[in-house]
Structure 1
């Protein structure tokens, strides 16, 4: 997959395009991407996703608190796995939001993206103040010689999913619903950094994960069953997201993973952690012994889950 981070393109091929933020690349999004990729192959065109970053709400509503399901790197990786040919990441700015619908079509879709077909949802709006709709796009298609395939309300609503619903599920600790809507396991991507070594004293050494993107949604505090691929090896473990209230009083959030049957040094390694299931809320224990006993129970719960659901 080719990735472009501006609209200064020099494409020497015709394309089929879809447009959107695609945060989470959930099962509704996947339906659109699969249709896009199939159509491109059938029509001997290249499949293109035009996406935007930062999220338009961050720019237009100054909603700096919005948390996204994917970092832009995660989104790119998922789209590549779905067989996309070209990803164009347009920096979203206030100036860009003021572009008229016709300028957007003629300058970007036609001139830069070499569009021959657009696949888009029935409720798509675009251009300044999002004033243009699917009917306007079809009219532009007649003017500029490209086809518009509309994804019907029935097709989209059949998969009653939205990025907002997934964010709410993750914030409430409902990982099962989030993963079901995503059609994949929720992921956290970050670098392993040195922690305080407190896990070692409990017999549960942990890898401390630092996520640099402040906009990335961190699920509700608690203990999760996870897996990661480390040097081509699939490794399972359990992860705590929280403030370690039994041990620490500074109320600072950390993400710590204890991997099972794994003791290699992985400091400064970048890991992608898949969240498989949620065991419990984080809580404060009366003593370190009580915490250690609970960690043993969590470990047993995780291993039973892995044995049942992920037997090799």
Structure 2
């Protein structure tokens, strides 16, 4: 099936920026038809699900509309663009606070007046009385509240990056770690986390550090230790899944005390993820 043929079959779209693809966003996707799609208004600064990362969190195809290229459109121009892209469009699904067009001055009333198909408006999703929004999840991550962030996401928050050469001190004097270079993703609060690490097509229990290496060289690093597993093959990329914040970053007065703490971190992480 060609791309143009498939576009002609799409009869419903959910519209939004969708940074996070969280439970609030998933509520929109549940209103799509079998031949539905996700229309991503890409602002270019998504950090929970940057770029095409959004596509892995839905079974529906995602089509991207760069904001810079459509921000000048009025309400009619935006809908004309949608219907040109999806000629069989019969249903549009949006959130309760949806705004669109130039300067975001058009709202749901305009959408309902101009679109000749069905408009479904999904109400706010809450967890424990707290509204599920991308900005809320970002704040939770910045404060290390991984459990609540994951509840709002409806999945385990993850970041992905490439492996880079480290100082080699961990393997020699502490514990072996994979040193990561992460771009675009929002990093949780600095500190130590119980995590899962995906590499080489497998997922392993791990403990991950984010922050300045106060006890070593003072440089910022993101490194993960794979628990009870020796990685003796080249690794190019790793995905880290955050399960629970363990402790704050701090400076130790010797490698001995640092290693003792790391061993304690590993034991704590095992109790959390190895169940």
- Fold match, TM over 0.5? yes
Aligned to 1:255: 222
Which residue pairs with 1:88 in the alignment? 63
Q: Could you list the per-position Cα deviations for residues 225-256 of structure 1 after superposition, in whole angstroms to 9, with x for gaps in the alignment?
A: 1112333433111010011100113xx32100
* Correspondence for 1:26: 22
Write the distance in 1 (CA, Å) between the matches of 2:258 and 2:100.
53
Residue pair 2:17, 2:43 contacting (<8 A) in 1 also: no
Deviations 1:84-133 (A, max 9, x none): 1x21112221x521111101101x11111221111112321111121221
Counterparts in 2 of 1:266 and 1:76: CA distance versus 1, 3 Å: farther
Correspondence list, 1:1-312, <5 A: 11-36=7-32, 40-41=33-34, 46-55=35-44, 68-79=47-58, 83-84=59-60, 86-93=61-68, 95-106=69-80, 108-114=81-87, 115-142=89-116, 146-152=117-123, 160-213=131-184, 216-249=185-218, 252-307=219-274, 311=275
- Give the Å deviation of 1:268: 4.7
Deviations 1:140-184 (A, max 9, x none): 123xxx21112235x679772111111111111111111111111
**1: CA distance between counterparts of 2:193 and 2:200?**
22
RMSD across aligned positions (CA):
2.3
Q: Deviations over 1:29-83 (max 9, x none)?
A: 11111222xxx12xxxx2111113334xx5xxxxxxxx7212223212112xxx2
Q: TM-score, normalised by structure 2?
A: 0.91
Q: Which runs of 5 or more residues in structure 1 are unaligned?
A: 59-66
Aligned to 1:61: none
- Does the residue aligned with 1:135 lie in a helix, a strand or coil? helix
Contact 2:93 2:121 in 1 (8 A): yes
Any idea what SS the aligned residue of 2:137 has?
Answer: helix
Q: 1:209 deviation in Å? A: 1.1
The answer as to whether partners of 1:10 and 1:112 remain within 8 angstroms in 2 is no
The gaps in structure 2 that reach 5 residues or longer are: none
TM-score (norm 1): 0.80
For residues 53 and 217 of structure 1, the distance between their equivalents in structure 2, rounded to whole angstroms, comes to: 17
| Equivalences, count | 272
Q: Partners in 1 of 2:169 and 2:136 — Cα distance? A: 36
SS at match of 1:12: helix
- Which deviates further from its counterpart, 172-181 or 227-236? 227-236
Deviations 1:185-204 (A, max 9, x none): 11010111111111112341
Equivalent position SS for 1:227: strand
Q: Give distance in 1, aligned partners of 2:268 and 2:10.
A: 53
Per-residue Cα deviation, 1:259-289 (whole angstroms, up to 9, x for no partner)? 0122234545222110111110110011111
Distance in 1 between the 2:160 and 2:85 partners?
Answer: 32
Contact 1:9 1:113 in 2 (8 A): no
C-alpha spacing 1:76/1:32, structure 2 compared with 1 (3 Å) = same
Answer whether contact 1:27 1:159 (CA < 8 A) is retained. Answer: no
